[in-house]
């Protein structure tokens, strides 16, 4: 058995994102088919607990849905002012990391997502101290602050994906383990949909200043966390 979070779009203005920690049967192995079995059981665990009317989407390269694959940070591309795709969200995020002894390493944006994440400089430059993007420093707190910003802005550049993602109520990322990682594309997606449904999206994403002001107001709002356990046979 395993426990992984489902990031549910909050139904009310002060909820934002509900984190539903679901217990489910884990299918070990690196094959995509194994990961999709785990995804199926994770989603079933969530939907079987009074969530049958919710529409849930796996966002990762292992997703059984084409939309979920396209929304993966490894595949979601950032565009420049000429509408040209320049790099993935993952590559940009890694390139903006600033460490005690080096960084940011801007050349990482030229690498493919998997290579960007594995760049040895990211492990050999000391502790992470923040992010540097477009001439501005971004702090490590609130957690996911910077990652959510670049993910949601990248998503907002793709009208076809925007039209589809807002139809969903909850998101998962089978690759995400909260014991090992902080940032999660599924959480960013849920926050994006919450902003859209509360008519805040355009204003919050209009500038980094508006975004930071928004988080200054909402930082102290608790994110709801619930636990779902499988019944004992």
CA 19 to chain centre: 13
- The strand pairing partners of 75, in sequence order, are none
Name the nearest CA neighbour of 170 among 35, 10, 3, 2.
Answer: 10
Per-residue confidence (pLDDT) for residue 217, from 0 to 100: 62
Encode pLDDT of 61-106 as tens digits.
Answer: 999 999 999 999 999 999 999 999 999 999 999 999 999 999 999 9
Confidence of residue 220 (pLDDT cuts 50, 70, 90): very low
pTM: 0.93
Per-residue confidence (pLDDT) for residue 227, from 0 to 100: 67
Confidence of residue 221 (pLDDT cuts 50, 70, 90): very low
Higher pLDDT, 206 or 225: 206
Encode pLDDT of 140-183 as tens digits.
Answer: 988 899 999 999 999 999 999 999 999 999 999 999 999 999 99
């Amino acid at each position: 058995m395993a426990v992984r979070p489902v990031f549910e779009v909050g139904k009310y203005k002060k909820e934002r994102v509900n984190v539903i920690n679901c217990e489910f049967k884990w299918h070990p192995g690196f094959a995509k088919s194994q990961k999709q079995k785990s995804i199926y059981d994770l989603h079933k665990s969530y939907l079987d607990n009074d969530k049958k009317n919710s529409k849930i989407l796996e966002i990762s390269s292992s997703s059984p849905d084409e939309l979920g694959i396209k929304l993966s940070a490894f595949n979601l591309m950032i565009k420049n002012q000429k509408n040209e795709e320049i790099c993935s969200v993952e590559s940009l995020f890694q390139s903006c990391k600033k460490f005690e002894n080096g960084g940011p390493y801007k050349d990482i944006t030229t690498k493919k997502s998997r290579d960007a994440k594995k760049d040895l400089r990211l492990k050999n430059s000391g502790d992470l101290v923040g992010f540097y993007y477009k001439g501005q420093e971004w702090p490590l707190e609130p957690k996911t602050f910077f990652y959510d910003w670049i993910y949601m802005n990248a998503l907002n550049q793709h009208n076809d994906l925007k039209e589809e993602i807002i139809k969903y109520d909850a998101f998962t990322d089978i690759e995400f383990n909260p014991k090992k990682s902080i940032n999660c594309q599924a959480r960013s997606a849920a926050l994006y949909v919450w902003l859209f449904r509360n008519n805040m999206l355009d204003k919050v994403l209009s500038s980094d200043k508006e975004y930071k002001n928004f988080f200054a107001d909402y930082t102290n709002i608790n994110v709801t966390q619930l636990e779902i356990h499988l019944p004992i046979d």
